[in-house]
Amino acid sequence: MNKSSLSYKDSGVDVYKSNMFVKRLKKIAKTTFRPEVIQGPGGFAALCSIPKKYHEPILVSSTDGVGTKIKLAMQFKCYDTIGIDVVAMCVNDIIVLGAEPVFFLDYYATSYIKIDAVSSIINGITEGCLKAGCSLVGGETAEMPGIYNDEDYDIAGFCVGVVEKTKIIDGRKITDGDVLIALGSSGPHANGYSLIHKIINDSKTDLQKTLIRGRPLMECLLQPTRIYVKNILTLIEDIDVHAIVHLTGGGFWDNIPRVLPNHTQAILEESTWEWPEIFKWIQKSGNISRFDMYHTFNCGVGMIIALHPSLVDKALQAMADSGEIAWKIGMIKTSSSNDRVVINP
């Protein structure tokens, strides 16, 4: 969305319409602006100050895409939800450190620019930024014929946040007996879609006719990733959270150990929750083992929060008041085992 980003000379798009399009994008982006934004889309770069409430601010950054989920979005010409996904994948990684997302930039590349498609994607990104409380300050929209074919495209995002140095959440406070609280996901989010595509192709599933609790499978699979930022920011204002895990690629086995100190182990109780139907369909249709399901998918758990047992009831109530589906999923114990995560059936 920077001045050099939108070139239509190769796409046949009317120049007048493209100019109106750029103006519309700037107007849309402006709805997300925080007070710290000095210069947003339109220049060669954006300017943003650090919020004044921080005494020793530490910048936190994250970049991500939506993986092969984008193939489904292209197939069904669903553009807006994929915009929410790309924001979510970045801001959810930032919040695990206790950081507040401040600004976001996007990258969109395609063979030729379709104004309606780009507009829908930017609308989705804008919605995601509003949900996360961060500003959409710019980005890049690139035409790359020969690299992308027909209506193919790819999208990625980049986010910067801020955290007080003394309030960084990195797992160092985790101790034996800490309780683990789960926050529900909205579906697969943006992980495991290469396997999902294989299942769909092998089973020749009709995504529009196959229903999951009355909803087309396609709709369930394109459900946008939940953005947990505002609710977690509210939680950590009042509660001393020891660690936060974002269940993304690598699932339970790879992500939970990222925050575990040496000689600790996370014990999860599978009986505390029921997998949403979409994950039951994936497992059954793909004949996937329990181990691989937990290695590839979030299985209904978007975030896991570690905290002292005395704070569990308060945290669960706070999450319920925020509209999150939250429950006690397990605990931390001292262990020298090589198995950093155990999920009891």
- Name the DSSP letter for residue 46: -
Would you say how long the chain is, in residues?
345
| Residue ranges of the chain whose pLDDT lies below 70 | 1-18, 21
- Sheet containing 153-164: order of strands: 57-65, 153-164, 100-110, 135-143
> How many Å apart are CA 233 and CA 243, to the nearest integer?
13
Domain identity same for 90 and 142:
yes
Provide the pLDDT for residue 221.
Answer: 97
| Location of structure tokens 């999150």 | 324
Tell me if 6 is assigned to some domain.
no
* 91 in any annotated domain: yes
Pairing of strands 211-212, 215-216: antiparallel
Question: Does 283 lie in the same domain as 187?
Answer: yes
316-322 long-range contacts (CB < 8 A, ≥24 apart) are: 316/181, 318/234, 318/235, 318/238, 318/239, 319/181, 319/183, 319/231, 319/235, 322/230, 322/231, 322/234, 322/235
Same domain, 205 and 144: no
User: How many angstroms separate the CA atoms of 207 and 209, rounded?
Assistant: 6
**Same structural domain, 158 and 193:** no
Same domain, 149 and 96: yes
Instruction: Round to whole Å and give the CA distance between 269 and 216.
Output: 31
- Residue 205: C-alpha distances to residues 199, 286, 330 (Å): 8, 11, 36
Q: Give the pLDDT score at 18.
A: 64
- pLDDT value of position 298: 98
Answer for the pair 235, 96: CB distance below 8 angstroms, yes or no: no
- Residue 17 pLDDT: 52
Same domain, 189 and 239: yes
88 part of a folded domain: yes
- Domain harbouring 217, CATH code: 3.90.650.10
In a shared domain, residues 211 and 303: yes
Domain boundary among 139, 167, 195: 167
- CATH number of domain containing 150: 3.30.1330.10
Number of helices (H), then strands (E), in the chain: 11, 14
Q: Residues 155, 227: one domain?
A: no
Instruction: Kindly state whether residues 195 and 230 are assigned to the same domain.
Output: yes
Say if strands 241-246 and 135-143 run parallel, antiparallel, or are unpaired.
unpaired
Res 114: pLDDT: 86
CA dihedral 113, 226, 33, 6 (to 10 degrees): -10
What is the number of structural domains in the chain?
Answer: 2
Residue 10 lies in a domain: no
pLDDT at 11: 47
Residue 253 lies in a domain: yes
* Domain enclosing residue 272, as ranges: 179-344
Using alpha carbons, select from 231, 229, 230 the residue that is nearest to residue 318: 231
Tell whether 294 and 186 lie within a shared domain: yes
Reference 122, options 92, 157, 95, 147; nearest CA is 157
Task: Report if residue 217 sits inside a domain.
Answer: yes
Same domain, 136 and 189: no
Q: In the prediction, which pLDDT does 14 show?
A: 53
Last residue in a domain, options 121, 140, 167: 167
